[in-house]
Amino acid sequence: MSAKKEPIWIARELSRCSGCRKCEIACSLAHEKRIWPEASRVRVFMLVPGLEFPHLCAQCEDYPCVEACPEKALSINKKTGAVAVKTAACISCGKCITTCPGRIPHMHPTEKYALICDLCKGDPQCVKVCQEGKWNALTKVARRNISFKLYARTPEELTKDLAAKLYGEQGEEYL
Amino acid sequence: MILGYAGKFLEVDLSTRKIRDVKFDDAILKDYVGGRGLAAKILWDRLGHKWEKVDPLGSENVLLFLTGPLTGYFPGGRICVSGKSPQSNGIVGSTVGGEFGVELRCAGYDGIIVTGESEKPVYLLIKDYDIELRDASHIWGRDAKQTVKVLTKECRELFKKRYPLYGEWKEPALLYIGPAGENKVRTAAVTAKWTHAAGYGGYGAVMGSKKLKAVAVKGTGPLPEAADIRKVKRLIKVVNDNAYENELWRRWGTGSAGYEVGARFSSEPVRNWQDEWHNERSFGVDKFEDRVWVKQSWSDFGCPTCCLKVAMVKTGKFKGAITDNPDYELQAYLGPNLGVFTPEENVYLASVIDDLGLCGIQTGNVLGFAAELYQREILTEKDLDGIDLKWGNTAAFAALAKKIAYREGIGDLLAEGTYRAALKLGETKKTDLLKYAVQAKGISIGAHGIRSEKDYPERISYACSVQGGDHTSTTGLPIDGSGSEVWEIFNDSGVYCNFNSFGISRKVRFDFYKAVTGVELIPEDWAKTKAFRILQLQRAMLLLGGPDATWEPKEHDANPPRFYEPLPNGPYKGKAADKTKVHEDIKKYYQEAGWDKNGVPKTETLRNLGLKDVDKSLERLRH
């Protein structure tokens, strides 16, 4: 495992996701002190039953959301590589969502700011629970020089891919 | 104030389209908790005075979708569906896994009370406090997978339009019916996530009678505040760790039982319970794992076990069929019970049942019943409109399931469920067919026999349960012992998945309740007072019954006749239930339950529990 201060990344293997949503539970407990699935920075989508997957920030190498923020409310945490949201500055205009190739950020359900994974200061709680249960859909790895942006995909696209893998041609009927 | 509740329930009158919030006093929540317990209280208060006259499939019935304080907190989320049951004419707390209960609580509601009946097909959409009844004509008649597809898309588009800046909307949680529910088939289930079903009770037919195709809910709030969230976190870990230790349970779920319950315990329905033993190696869990499971771990909200698997047939004539495992119940009922012993055929039949919105247990039972009548030449190919219902003829069973869901030909009769079909057909054929009906008080028995005493050891498991043949709520002696249904009432009222509580001490479960609600609950008090009161309410409404069937304890607190026939094969060959011992147990159970010698709750029992009005209503049953 990488040294504590080295930037990390959450590698994802979506077809291993059971849809248990323990990542949502852990994330919201860590950030909101409540079980609050919609306030979780990682959200599990199930647009088609059986095709569940966690949807979370991929920390694109060029950070288009940070670039697009008109209020400079987003910044890059140098230690972890995570996108930091300055909640007081955010005007919830949604630019970070439309710029994100995966439309990953979403608004806090009751507050006026966007929710983006902060990598839990290098110790992501979602990864912990996923590993505890041996699903390993999420794994913490050292941030190396790869195309992270590739992994920022929309829920629809990911659903389509998983449908092809699990259900083959039959899956097209349910999309 | 009691914590762990959203604090309000949604009441929807489908006749007037009026929607309002309803609250219950803390005292009621403390006594009845939620789910099954609260269902008994609500139904008694609203319908008790005219129970016998209420048609479960009429507009007067009250349909309930209730969570409990533990929903979403205790790992493995569920929702409890209830109402007057068109199977037993009593009440069943019928729970189904999924995210529905969590979404509902996050939307700010502990439950939904549905009254009246809509003129046109509708679905109920709840998005936090935005609640509306929407037209469902475009999905009326659609099967499960198509209904899920259309509603998921429609609701997400609606959310996107109404809240354009929110970001991507997740899917709402759905409860829906298939064609079977629409056609008021008594073996229709309320279903979720393609394959999950609240089957016992027949509430799919109740939804159909109200023309309520589905309920969709998206809640964006947190779960209702828990009294001690740190304690809750610790207890979640206890439940998780317990599950993580049980590796084969996690890997196979109940999928290993399709072989084992038959081969080792002789307790699996084989050819309509003519046997309970089989040794078909083709039905081993390894065959399911190696041939059809495309997803090995499939969970509902917060679940560490993942007893569910996604299965898909990849080869042969049933290629493309998708369902879950099937779990043990559907393995058994749509497998050996029909003379079917391969994973592919079993998966196919389960997928047909899912798509039609049928309960696999109740429908598997009536299919087996029909096949035995065919075997005995009581039903002919002509009666079945040309279907050759030989054991193991998978295509024939699928064809008959469709006829049941659409009430076509003989399907119309079988759609009444095994008990009612046996009575009606017995009249036509002028012979007693109840001897082939493996059911208790209108509810077909789950796939666990009692003859070998190796799987479900209690002789009165089903005979004395207030939920008839429901294998998730069997009972036994002593009435506060571990085999009694008072503990099932706790699971179904707290509303969480009891599969995650295997190996979890009673203390942990009740600590969990306290950590969430802040209310101390002692197990003994639960068994002797609170659960006991719920049990009496359920018993009272079961005995009042009506309008189309009523139960005489002397006649109907009984095992199906088949359980008295000796097992014909296997290691427990010759074993059968012992009538004398069963009667002794029933007598003892009546005493412990505070019922008179005729099985009716005594005045003293009811008054001690504060159920004076129930006592009055039962006067007419005492003789």
Distance CA B505, CA B502 (A): 8
Distance CA B353, CA B331 (A): 12
Kindly report the nearest CA distance between residue B545 and chain A, in angstroms: 38
Distance CA B451, CA B419 (A): 21
H-helix or E-strand containing A99? Answer: helix A95-99
Q: How far is CA A13 from the centre of its chain?
A: 13
Q: Is B3 in CB contact (< 8 Å) with chain A?
A: no
Nearest CA in chain B to A106: B167
B84 beta partners: B91
Contact B466, B196 (CB under 8 A): no
Angle between helices B506-517 and B229-245 (to 10 degrees): 150
| Percent share of chain B, pLDDT over 90 | 99
Distance CA A48, CA A38 (A): 19
Pick from B439, B545, B560, B488: which is nearest to B94 by CA?
B488
Structure tokens at B320: 């493309």
Structure tokens at B190: 């309320």
Looking at the predicted structure, is the pLDDT value of residue B15 above 50? yes
Beta-carbon separation of B225 and A34 below 8 A: yes
User: Which chain B residues contact residue A29 at CB under 8 A?
Assistant: 229, 233
Kindly report the nearest CA distance between residue B459 and chain A, in angstroms: 37
Beta-carbon separation of A37 and B106 below 8 A: yes
The pLDDT of residue A77 is: 94
Nearest residue, CB atoms, A47 vs list B145, B152, B312: B152
Burial of A144 (0-12, 13-18, 19+ CB in 10 A): exposed
Size of interface A-B (CB pairs under 8 A): 126
Distance CA A163, CA B283 (A): 27
Cβ-based neighbours of B544, under 8 Å, separated by 6 or more: B51, B52, B550, B617, B618, B621
The pLDDT tens digits of the residues spanning B41-97 come to 999 999 999 999 999 999 999 999 999 999 999 999 999 999 999 999 999 999 999
Beta-carbon separation of A36 and B222 below 8 A: yes
Beta-carbon separation of B229 and A33 below 8 A: yes
A106 — phi, psi (to 5°)?
Answer: -145, 170
User: Which chain A residues contact residue B225 at CB under 8 A?
Assistant: 34
The pLDDT of residue A6 is: 81
Distance CA A160, CA B32 (A): 44
Pick from B211, B198, B57, B72: which is nearest to B133 by CA?
B211
User: Which chain B residues contact residue A44 at CB under 8 A?
Assistant: 170
Mean per-residue pLDDT, B510-529: 98
User: Which chain B residues contact residue A16 at CB under 8 A?
Assistant: 297
Structure tokens at B378: 């009581």
Mean per-residue pLDDT, B286-312: 98
Cβ-based neighbours of B422, under 8 Å, separated by 6 or more: B369, B433, B434, B436, B437
Kindly report the nearest CA distance between residue B168 and chain A, in angstroms: 7
* Mean pLDDT of all residues belonging to chain B: 98
Instruction: Return the number of other C-beta atoms located less than 10 Å from residue B108's C-beta.
Output: 18
User: Domains of chain A by range and CATH?
Assistant: 8-174 (3.30.70.20)
| Model confidence, pTM | 0.98
Distance CA B65, CA B36 (A): 10
The pLDDT tens digits of the residues spanning B432-461 come to 999 999 999 999 999 999 999 999 989 999
Distance CA B241, CA B577 (A): 39
Q: Is B221 in CB contact (< 8 Å) with chain A?
A: yes
Nearest residue, CB atoms, B223 vs list A22, A34, A44: A34
User: Which chain A residues contact residue B167 at CB under 8 A?
Assistant: 94, 97, 103, 105-107, 114
Beta-carbon separation of B165 and A92 below 8 A: yes
Burial of B494 (0-12, 13-18, 19+ CB in 10 A): buried
Interface residue of A15, A21, A169 to substitute, partner B, most B CBs within 10 Å? A21
Please list the pLDDT of chain A residue by residue as tens digits (175 residues): 444 568 999 999 999 999 999 999 999 999 999 999 999 999 999 999 999 999 999 999 999 999 999 999 999 999 999 999 999 999 999 999 999 999 999 999 999 999 999 999 999 999 999 999 999 999 999 998 899 999 999 999 999 999 999 999 999 999 9
Contact B332, B446 (CB under 8 A): no
Contact A84, A63 (CB under 8 A): no
Mean per-residue pLDDT, B406-413: 98
End-to-end CA distance of chain A: 39
Answer positive or negative: Cα dihedral of A47, A50, A54, A60: negative
Distance CA B472, CA B476 (A): 13
Angle between helices B486-494 and B506-517 (to 10 degrees): 30
The pLDDT tens digits of the residues spanning B545-583 come to 999 999 999 999 999 999 999 999 999 999 999 999 999
SS3 percent helix, strand, coil of chain B, rounded to 5, is 45, 15, 45
For β-strands B63-66 and B111-115, DSSP reports them as: antiparallel
Looking at the predicted structure, is the pLDDT value of residue B543 above 80? yes
The residues spanned by each domain of chain B are 9-218
B 347-366 → A contacts, CB under 8 A? none
Helices in B33-118 by DSSP H: which ranges? 35-47, 100-106
Q: Is B264 in CB contact (< 8 Å) with chain A?
A: no
Kindly report the nearest CA distance between residue A28 and chain B, in angstroms: 9
Residue type, A137: A
Instruction: Return the number of other C-beta atoms located less than 10 Å from residue B161's C-beta.
Output: 8
Q: Is B193 in CB contact (< 8 Å) with chain A?
A: yes
- CATH placement of domain B9-218: 3.60.9.10
End-to-end CA distance of chain B: 44
**Greatest CA span in chain B, whole angstroms?**
70
Angle between helices B360-375 and B343-356 (to 10 degrees): 120
**Torsion angle in degrees (nearest 10) through CA of A130, A171, B296, B325:** 130
